[in-house]
Amino acid sequence: MGIIISTVSIFILMVVIITVILFFVFVTGKIEKHEAAKSSYALGTLINLRANGDKAKMAIDKALERLKEIDDRMSAFKESSDISKINFNAGNKGEKVNNDTYFVVKKAIEYSRILEGTFDPTIRPLVKLWSIGTKEERIPEKSKIEKALKLINYNDVIFDDKNNSIMLKHDKQALDVGGIAKGFAADEVRDIFYQYNIKSALIDLGGNIFALGSKENGSAWKVGIQNPFKPRGEFIGILSVKNKSIVTSGNYERYFIKDGKKFHHIIDPKTGYPSESKIISATIISDNSIDGDGLSTGVYIIGIDKAMKIIETIEGIDAIFITEDKKIYKTSGIDESIFTLIDSEFF
């Protein structure tokens, strides 16, 4: 019988490490008198916000209130959320939801179509079956995976624009917008910061980064791309960005090992098993974080050839992919002014 290594504590530690790296390695300098920073927990992850401006503290407090509001509406774990109510009424009736939820679910379906179903918000039955990153993580029985696969179909999400309601076509189907909600939330925080005239800020929602403006000294924000073959905090390269979202999906984020085999959390909606696309890290650079979030998981699963083609067709979005044979693929908008390779193993 193989040994299963739980990742709950490992995941928490990794989140903390990400936070330390982003805020103390790449964001140099002490907290200035007009700068505020605050950490919290929402959307199932650690939140770190840092802003510079006369109203920085007020902006951050308002942003944290907004994040709680989004979490309350879109969490699949809160019984009172819009998502839980949709799931409860699956196969029975539509659920009238808040405008935020309606927008996010519609956006999720839009990306499901673009990504040919490799991103699918109806994946919750499979995610729950594997439970990777929790104390219940396990390899499900094949028969249970096959049964769950019959419930996965983004075309079964029915929208009623007139009544702002969403319905799942079949009983036991379930939505999970965790793969896109953080992106929406990051954009909402950015917009709040703009309202408070914040010109320089770093928004970190569990590794979903939005670098607003530039650093206080006018230079670009520096954000590292994790080397998926090495321990946390070791990077293959550095992105230099202003007013950009950076979202990465990787097989090193959440996983467990059984009988020497690694089972990561990125489940392929078509097979029911962790993706084996050969991509092990997909980083999306975009103007809006909801786009990066919606794309990163799907392109990871769809494979390098299709992933490159899809990203190249979407204006204003670029990507960096790392494959298991240690090759780096960059879309046409990534040049030396944006990305600097620092790991000699990839030269």
Query: Amino acid identity, residue 131?
Result: S
Does the annotation list 204 as a binding residue? Answer: no
Residue 303: partners with Cβ closer than 8 Å, 6 or more residues away:
277, 278, 279
Alpha-carbon gap, residue 53 to 62, rounded angstroms:
14
Bridge partners, 222 (sequence order): 240
Label residue 23 exposed, middle or buried (CB < 10 Å: 0-12, 13-18, 19+).
Answer: middle
Rounded to 5 degrees, what angle do the CA atoms 234, 237, 240 make?
Answer: 125
Does the annotation list 287 as a binding residue? Answer: no
In 27-108, at which residue ranges do the beta strands (DSSP E only) sit?
A: 35-42, 45-52, 95-96
Does the annotation list 179 as a binding residue? Answer: yes
With beta carbons less than 8 A apart as the criterion, state whether 108 and 182 touch.
no
Q: Which two tokens stand for residue 93?
A: 């009736």
Which residues does the annotation place in the binding site? 179, 293, 297
Which residues does the annotation place in the binding site for Mg(2+)? 179, 293, 297
